[in-house]
Amino acid sequence: MNTEFDITETLDVTGENCPMPVIKTKQTTDGLAEGDVLEVVATDSGSMSDLKGWANTTEGVELLDQEESDNGGEAVYRHYVRKTE
């Protein structure tokens, strides 16, 4: 777990494929306050590029970090998004 920032909320989109991780991340960040950090947990490898691209082209959010880990043979991708406005 990343300790550089405090996670406000965790969104579990494991088992979901494109475009659902991005759609659900957007819906969740819309309900956050400025400065809140959302942790998104996904199993779709495409979420690494999809969420990065979404954050880079969306006002009001910042992608803080992305991590890949192994959970018993299945890759798990964690994304950390801060609401900036």
Active site residues: 18
DSSP reduced 3-state for 80: strand
DSSP reduced 3-state for 25: helix
Instruction: Give the helix ranges, DSSP H, for the chain.
Output: 20-30, 47-56
In the structure encoding, which two tokens stand for residue 39, read together? 């942790």
Residue 10's DSSP bridge partners are 39
